[in-house]
Chains A and B, each alone.
Chain A
Amino acid sequence: DVKVTQSSRYLVKRTGEKVFLECVQDMDHENMFWYRQDPGLGLRLIYFSYDVKMKEKGDIPEGYSVSREKKERFSLILESASTNQTSMYLCASSFRGRKSTNEKLFFGSGTQLSVL
């Protein structure tokens, strides 16, 4: 089974702290994504990467950065956490290109981040 692992299920941080959310996938997927999930707003894309060291801004990149130094790992960084970044963060991955099921996203089980 494909596995997308997020390092923490729950995280509590203080305002102004630097926060790292880690995501690792074991299926050699080229694409990796970070989404934020909020009630009534659904899932919104923060950043995605289609290759090592490549990154693209999503719909809500402000206040976030990302790092992809290895194919299997995609990190989301909150440089200075703020209370409005309290949310559920979901990592996902997929193959790139037209393969039999390449367009399917595989998700991690999410990190619930609280910024106090």
Chain B
Amino acid sequence: AQTVTQSQPEMSVQEAETVTLSCTYDTSESDYYLFWYKQPPSRQMILVIRQEAYKQQNATENRFSVNFQKAAKSFSLKISDSQLGDAAMYFCAYRMSWVSNFGNEKLTFGTGTRLTIIP
């Protein structure tokens, strides 16, 4: 079974600084997707960034970027120029590829990291 581990229950960062959230996962698959989701106090889960395992290039979305290390099974999220609106729970998630697992497109989530932004 696939597992996703987030070893930092809480993190804090000064506004405008950079912070990195860690995520490791365990799988025997070679083709899969990885995600970072954000859950603000409104509880609405928002997709921050996604990475396809067969792509070596790290995904970026504006101030958000990932460091994807496939051999190490590591998928960290870097938030640059942190803003007050970035305060939220962040969840790392894994999904097997559809090609090899039709009908089994569930996401497996980590336990989350609560990010606090210090003004």
Contact = CB atoms under 8 A, between A and B. Distances in A.
Contacts of B105: 31, 50, 94, 96, 103
Interface stretch (A13-21, A38-46, A61-69, A74-82): A38-46
B47 to A, nearest CB: 6
Q: Is the interface of B mostly helix, strand, loop or mixed?
A: loop
A103 B43 CA distance: 21
B36 interface: no
Interface string B1-20: 00010100100000000000
A56 B105 CA distance: 11
A109 B112 contact: no
Interface stretch (B55-63, B70-78, B80-88, B96-104): B96-104
A45 B105 CA distance: 12
Contact of B103 (A42, A45, A56): A56
A40 B114 CA distance: 10
Contacts of B4: 42
B45 A107 contact: yes
A98 to B, nearest CB: 5
A103 B95 contact: yes
Contacts of B95: 103
B68 interface: no
Given A50-B103, A102-B98, A43 B109 contact: yes
A41 B43 contact: no
Interface string A27-66: 0000101010000111111001010000010100000000
7 A-B pairs with the lowest CB-CB distances in the bound complex, closest first? A107-B45, A42-B111, A43-B109, A110-B43, A42-B109, A50-B103, A98-B98
Interface of A: 31, 33, 35, 40-45, 48, 50, 56, 58, 88, 90, 92, 94, 96-98, 102-105, 107, 109-110
